[in-house]
Structure 1
Amino acid sequence: MPRQLWLRGKYLIRQAACQADLIAAQSLRAQAFRSANDDGLDCDIFDERCLHFLVIEAATGTLVCCFRLLPLQNGREISSSYSAQYYELTALEAYPHRMAELGRFCIRPGYGDPDIIRVAWGAMTTYVDESGIGLLFGCSSFAGTETKDYLDTFAMLQARHLAPPRWLPRIKAPDVFRFAARLRRKPDVKKAMMRMPPLLRTYLLMGGWVSDHAVVDRNMNTLHVFTGLEITAIPPARKKLLRAVAGQGSGASGGSIYEKMIGGR
């Protein structure tokens, strides 16, 4: 995609173009995930292989959101992904099409404008379409490591959103919550949606699916589930809305489209 692309007058999104851009993203990640190294940055060995995207508030120049995408030619390369550190992904090695791993998605603390996610998804849609991506995947994180805080959400995932058996990730991490095997409760839908991380919620409303267990990541102080979204499985109406978001110019007003796209907040 272009180095920069206005998707809405309030925000600019572009790829990182220099080391200073990458450092800015790593600094924001450290604030959002509270995972700074000694240099105050959140960085790892995957950064150099990824495309990094920045969402910037146009009026102030403030970086309000960032994420990275790791392109893979097909499932044979999935063992080199970030997610493969935590999930046994042998089943997905048979996936025949191009893939991209979405990672380190975060929003600056204190910024709650839903258009930020809308703009980010518009950029991802542009990249997916232009690159011929068949599967978008990654780790979707819950704040904290207390599973009891999210039982209704996990019960909903178990009931409605587990991965197809042919792609189901297996257990690899030493500390996991096997919610699909342990939970036998009817979820309270309202509570489940209230505790659902916004990124995961958007994945699922597009037809995404999750692993049958959550990894307890005490270093990052998160729980996370492996999340996959097969592009061909996105409902046509939602795909149309996503592409409408991706194609809007700087003067467009897209709040209503965003609300339709994710079903409200």
Structure 2
Amino acid sequence: MISGLAGRKGRYDVRLAATPADVEAAQRLRYLAFIATREQSGAEGCPVEANGLDGDDFDALCRHVLIEDRKSGQLVCTFRFQEFQNGAEVSRSYSAQYYGLEALESYAGRMLEMGRFCIHPEWHDPDILRVAWGAMTAYVDANGVELLFGCSSFDGTDWMAHADALAMLKHRHIGPKHWLPKVKAPNVFKFAARLRRKPNAKRAALSMPPLLKTYLMMGGWVSDHAVVDRQLGTMHVFTGVEIAAIPPARKKLLRSVAS
């Protein structure tokens, strides 16, 4: 058993995928959350998948977390993670496909990349997100992780639909220069350079993805540009959370969920 990633939280069970069937279940939920709704709406650029699975080569490298409703056995949330001893290994991460992470190669501490996070579209219990973060907090504490990172996605590729949220990121949450990712992907929106507007806080909050909100509440920071992924119909920003910088009150809350 891996520290912190198995147990019961309220009505939910948290465990790691242990079989190929478990991984396939995670891939089916990811497909449902990321692709199926776009296929149904006929969204431009949406891939046609005959097998109903969202998978890639990184699935074999990652551990997959499953959160299931205890009564029904329904898989309600999944995410995957990959751990690195230090920044010298960061080029092997999923994020490194899209961002120039050379600055992070000198990072000395343990790093963990979290990705493909999704909640079943028919489930709206806020406890699911809390349970997920509680599990990850327990793992981070038990394994001495110092930097949590990943890609946080906005739905849609039109930056104007997220202008206030992106402006808020520019004004409050751009990462430190010594860790900031460089542009690598061919299609990006350099919101820190291009946006001049003052963000409307209410509209920004409505447009901000829930996962990204959680990162930011933990003191997280983002890249100065968003990568436009037309295949999945999203825009994503690189997101980092330095564990030592998480506000004490937030740490206390997360650990109370994790216990």
Indicate the TM-score class for this superposition, using the shorter chain for normalisation. Answer: over 0.9
Letter in 2 for 1:27: R
Calculate percent identity across the aligned residue pairs: 60
Name the Cα RMSD after superposition.
1.1
8 A Cα contact 1:30 1:36, kept in partner: no
1:87-126: CA deviations, max 9, x gaps? Answer: 0000000100100000000011121111110000000001
Q: Which residue of 1 aligns with 2:87?
A: 75
The aligned counterpart of 2:107 is 95
Aligned partner of 2:250 in structure 1 is 238
Q: Give the corresponding residue for 2:38.
A: none
CA contact (8 A) 2:98 2:185 kept: yes
One-letter amino acid of the counterpart of residue 104, structure 1: R
Counterpart code for 2:131: V
Partners of 2:4 and 2:238 lie apart in 1 by 29
- TM-score, with structure 1 as normaliser: 0.91
Matched, 1:21 2:22: yes
1:79-228 equivalence runs, <5 A: 79-228=91-240
Q: Which runs of 5+ in 2 are unaligned?
A: 36-46
Query: Corresponding residue for 2:9?
Result: 7
Q: How far is the alpha carbon of 1:152 from its aligned partner?
A: 0.3
Partner of 1:48: 60
Asked if the contact 1:178–1:213 (Cα under 8 Å) also holds between the matched residues in 2, the reply is yes
SS in structure 2 at match of 1:167? coil
CA gap of 1:36–1:203, structure 2 versus 1, over 3 A, is farther
Unaligned runs of 5+ in 1: 248-265
In structure 2, what residue type is equivalent to 1:25?
Answer: A
Give the corresponding residue for 1:257: none
Structure 1 counterpart of 2:53, which letter?
A: L
Distance 1:14 1:176, change over 3 A: same
How far did residue 36 of structure 1 move? Answer: 6.7
Distance (Å, rounded) in 1 between the aligned partners of 2:216 and 2:4? 28
Alpha-carbon offset, residue 219 of structure 1: 1.2
In 2, Cα distance between equivalents of 1:231 and 1:105: 19
Structure 1 runs (4+) deviating above 3 angstroms are 35-38
Instruction: Give a deviation string over 1:26-64, Cα, whole Å, max 9, x none.
Output: 000011110674422111111111111011111211101
Q: Report how many aligned residue pairs link the two structures.
A: 246
TM-score (norm 2): 0.93
Q: What do the CA deviations read for 1:185-243 (whole angstroms, capped 9, x no partner)?
A: 11000110011100000000000000000000011111000000000000111101110
Give how far 1:244 is off: 0.5
Q: Distance in 1 between matches of 2:224 and 2:168?
A: 11
Q: Distance in 1 between matches of 2:209 and 2:71?
A: 28
Give CA deviations for 1:147-204 in whole Å, capped at 9, x if unaligned. Answer: 1110000000000000000000010000001000001111000110011100000000
Identify which range, 224-233 or 51-60, moves more after superposition.
Answer: 51-60
